[in-house]
Amino acid sequence: MSKKILSIIIPAYNEEVTIVTLLDKVLKVKVSLKKEIIIVNDGSTDSTRALIEEWQATKTFSKNETVIIIDKKNGGKGSAVRAGIEKSTGDVVIIQDADLEYDPNDYQKCIDPILRGKTKVVYGSRGRVRLHSSLVFYIGGLMVTYWMNLLFGTSLTDEPTCYKTFDGNLIRTLLFKGSDFRWEPEITAKLLRLGYEIYEVPIKYMPRKMTEGKKISWKDGIIALWTAFLWRFWSINKEKAVLLKIPSEKNNILSQLKEQKILYLLILVSLFIRLLIILPGMQYPEKTFFRPDSSSYIQPALALLETGSYNESPSSTNPATVRSPGFPVFLAGLFVISNYSLGFPVLIFCLISAITCIPIFYAGKLFGKTAAIGAIAALLFGFNITSIAVAPLYLSDTLFTFFAAWQFYFFTRFYCKERLLDLWVAIFLNGVATLIRPTGLFWIIPCLFLLLIFTRKTLIKRLIGVIGCIVVFAILIIPWMARNHMVGAGFRLDTNIGNSFYYYISAAVVSTVTGESTEILRQKWGKETTQEFAAHPEKYPDENSRVQYKLAKAKKIIHQYPLAYLRQLFRPTILLPDVPTFFELLGLTQTGRGTLDILNQKGLIAAVQHYFNDKIWLLSFMLPGLLVVVITYLGCGVKLCCWIIQKKWFLLFFFMAFVPYYLVQPGPIVMPRYHLPALPMMTVMAAMTIGSLWEKWKFRK
């Protein structure tokens, strides 16, 4: 068997000071493979070319060493590397700069993982703490690395390293387009998207300064960030088609294609179901998809478009404070795109609900270690009755759940990959979600608790993580709270908190004690509040004072009935699937019949009988959807019990941060749609249970 070959690609442009010394080092280094030294003169204008010729003429090469010189017009490092790769014949290919920053004695440790079959790509990492030519270059390199990790979910420590080592057949097939320094983020992005693991080994590094010939600049860093982003989403179908023809790469590519097809199919089926449900109501969307709360989102959106100010309505000069700005601003954007169409946002809401399967899929894949777990989790969400029914409504729940799902995914990445960057992204997404709906405001508390007990990180890193979380969250949230304070609404996200606590939460508490209708209580208290404000305008000059009045009234009621309030916090009825809304979208039932009061006073069975009346037979059509709900809850419960039995306390607290937090947050107001943000983790846990049962069944079989 002939000895394997290591192709060493050396791009050189105006390197007369270092080229000979570097070539001597490359020739001298001992490796277990034959050396194919390919020097690419990239149109040098100094004596680099002459020095290479002289060096070649004065050296004696063994049978295990060959030298190839390529001359080309100057086109950038990427073009030189590409020319060298095209000429190479090696089983392994490594890139070597023509300066003296990198030590060829590190070749063997770079090629060993490939020779052992452990991976097909190795990057020599200079480490996070190292010498650097300047602080700007060092920070730039870290930014590119972190950006790549963020986009691809990797744990690289040094993406811009020179010592990139590849399986020869792979890199000769997977050629890149970038002709300058952008070839590096391009090839990294393509490899990661194709499912190749990039293995890192530590290497030595002695940087040179710009005055010594260093050619990269800060502009190349900006280009690298953009290139990585571009190739994260740009089509690589051509690369896949070429790799499919190589027997050694075929299985890997087929696995990637299968995973993508499953995910796309899940999204398409989920979207199709939602579109099918909305068809009957698309002729009159304002009648079908609007709810009592919808106007509090739509009117500020219209005001923003027509007056340029975030006011209560286009005809009002009062700043809008009832809702946080996220969903109204999003609505305004949809109205601009669609020329104020009421049907277009409904379609977008359905699309957002369907693509929420993406973060759930990848979170399940991380947690369960296989794409199958991710697919099952996404399936359970995509076919969930509540997620389908709520999707087209002019309410913030679908958009909030979308960001909450991504928040869950990035926190899962933090748990699995142990990167603070993922944690900070999760906090950022939590901040965005909070600007859509204030339910997420206090999630930072369980997040910080989880970080502090995450013993896989040192105490110093945990403290850095805490500071980073607080800063990121504050930057997102505080400006809007300060805006509300400036317009007289208090230092808060919205003023709907007064209405929620007084007219809804307090009414629900009193209703359970006295049996009175919550609707009648709301009407009664609303009249009393209006009279109070009208009679004492000097006491309630702004929105903040009016909110404080409602909160004080609510506080008094809660203090009067503390046990009733606490009992209301834990309402399993919040987990009920939103079957009523599902049928209302189809025009088969009607809302506004006092079913919520019946539920609070007489229980679930009485509420179902009251709502459906003589149409109870409709429930038979919901059996598949109800089965999905039952599987989700049972599977989630089983996995939770397993964690408790196995004493996996961190995972137990993880669960509490993403499920009970969202289930308890709404308080006594029981709406099925409020449990949607808890579904991502519940579906993943259920999928893990299903996966475990499947493995046990296969083993017994």
- For the stretch 412-442, pLDDT in tens is 999 998 989 999 999 999 999 999 999 999 9
User: Cα separation of 92 and 115, whole Å?
Assistant: 8
Nearest to 304 by CA among 322, 316, 290, 292: 316
pLDDT at 586 over 90: no
User: Cα separation of 519 and 597, whole Å?
Assistant: 8
Give the lowest-confidence range in 16-20, 452-456, 512-516, 595-599: 595-599
Query: Which DSSP category does 541 fall into?
Result: -
- Averaged pLDDT, 248-265: 89
pLDDT at 591 over 70: no
Nearest to 509 by CA among 578, 556, 550: 556
Instruction: Specify which residues 93 forms β-bridges with.
Output: 7, 166
User: Cα separation of 385 and 265, whole Å?
Assistant: 19
Residue 226: other Cβ atoms inside 10 A: 13
Query: Quick check: is 162 in a domain?
Result: yes
Using 50, 70 and 90 to split pLDDT, how confident is the model at 489?
Answer: very high
Query: Quick check: is 169 in a domain?
Result: yes
User: Cα separation of 554 and 558, whole Å?
Assistant: 6
Average pLDDT of the chain, as a whole number: 89
Output the pLDDT for position 86.
Answer: 93
Q: What is the residue type of 381?
A: F
- For the stretch 661-676, pLDDT in tens is 998 876 656 678 999 9
Residue with tokens 């490092």: 77
Output the pLDDT for position 694.
Answer: 87
Query: Quick check: is 164 in a domain?
Result: yes
Number of domains in the chain: 1
User: Cα separation of 349 and 393, whole Å?
Assistant: 8
- For the stretch 8-35, pLDDT in tens is 999 999 888 899 999 999 999 999 999 9
**Angle in degrees, 0-180, between the axes of helices 444-452 and 459-486, rounded to the nearest 10:** 170
Query: Quick check: is 90 in a domain?
Result: yes
Domain of residue 92, residue span: 5-243
Strand arrangement of the beta sheet that strand 92-95 belongs to: 65-72, 34-42, 5-12, 92-95, 164-167, 121-125, 198-202
Output the pLDDT for position 689.
Answer: 96
For the chain, the C-alpha Rg in angstroms (whole number) is: 31
Straight-line distance from the first to the last Cα atom of the chain, in angstroms, rounded to the nearest whole number: 44
Residue 241 burial (10 A CB sphere; 0-12, 13-18, 19+): exposed
**Which alpha helices (DSSP H) does 339-419 contain, by range?**
343-355, 357-368, 371-382, 385-390, 397-417
Query: Which DSSP category does 440 fall into?
Result: G
Output the pLDDT for position 133.
Answer: 54
- For the stretch 348-386, pLDDT in tens is 999 999 999 999 999 999 998 899 999 999 999 999 999
User: Cα separation of 398 and 385, whole Å?
Assistant: 13
Q: To 5 degrees, how large is the angle CA 440–CA 445–CA 446?
A: 90
Please give the helix or strand (H or E) that residue 5 lies within, else none.
strand 5-12
Residue 116 burial (10 A CB sphere; 0-12, 13-18, 19+): exposed
Contacts 24+ apart (CB under 8 A), 16-21: 16/44, 16/46, 16/47, 16/48, 16/51, 17/212, 17/213, 18/98, 18/99, 18/100, 18/213, 19/48, 19/51, 19/52, 19/55, 19/98, 20/51, 20/55, 21/100
Q: Would you mind telling me the total number of residues written for the chain in this entry?
A: 701
pLDDT at 456 over 60: yes
Q: What is the CATH number of the domain that holds 33?
A: 3.90.550.10
Output the pLDDT for position 584.
Answer: 82
pLDDT at 215 over 90: no
pLDDT at 212 over 60: no
Helix (H, G, I), strand (E, B) or coil at 28: helix
Output the pLDDT for position 617.
Answer: 64
Which positions ≥6 away from 605 have C-beta within 8 Å?
none
Query: Quick check: is 367 in a domain?
Result: no
SS3 letters across 612-666: HHHHHHHHHHHHHHHHHHHHHHHHHHHHHHHHHHCCCHHHHHHHHHHCHHHHHCC
Q: To 5 degrees, how large is the angle CA 561–CA 565–CA 567?
A: 120
Phi, psi of 74 (to 5 degrees): -65, 125
- For the stretch 153-184, pLDDT in tens is 888 989 989 999 999 999 998 878 888 888 99
Distance of CA 651 to the CA centre of its chain: 20
pLDDT at 698 over 90: no
Output the pLDDT for position 139.
Answer: 81
For the residues of 40-96, what is the DSSP string, one character each? EEES-SSSHHHHHHHHHHH----TTEEEEEEEE----HHHHHHHHHHH---SEEEE-
What are the C-alpha distances in Å from 214 to residues 184, 208, 221, 222?
17, 6, 14, 17
- For the stretch 592-606, pLDDT in tens is 555 566 666 666 666
State what percent of residues in the chain have pLDDT above 70.
Answer: 91
Using 50, 70 and 90 to split pLDDT, how confident is the model at 6?
Answer: very high
Instruction: Specify which residues 5 forms β-bridges with.
Output: 34
Output the pLDDT for position 609.
Answer: 63
Output the pLDDT for position 220.
Answer: 75
Output the pLDDT for position 608.
Answer: 63
For the residues of 195-256, what is the DSSP string, one character each? T--EEEEE--B----GGGT----HHHHHHHHHHHHHHHHS--HHHHHHHTTSHHHHHHHHHH
Query: Quick check: is 684 in a domain?
Result: no
Query: Quick check: is 494 in a domain?
Result: no
- Averaged pLDDT, 80-84: 93
Output the pLDDT for position 571.
Answer: 74
What pTM was computed for the model?
A: 0.86
Output the pLDDT for position 581.
Answer: 85
Nearest to 24 by CA among 108, 87, 105, 84: 105
- Averaged pLDDT, 490-503: 90
Nearest to 492 by CA among 503, 481, 502: 481
Query: Quick check: is 382 in a domain?
Result: no
- Averaged pLDDT, 335-350: 96
Using 50, 70 and 90 to split pLDDT, how confident is the model at 128?
Answer: low
pLDDT at 140 over 90: no
pLDDT at 107 over 80: yes
Output the pLDDT for position 302.
Answer: 96
Using 50, 70 and 90 to split pLDDT, how confident is the model at 590?
Answer: low
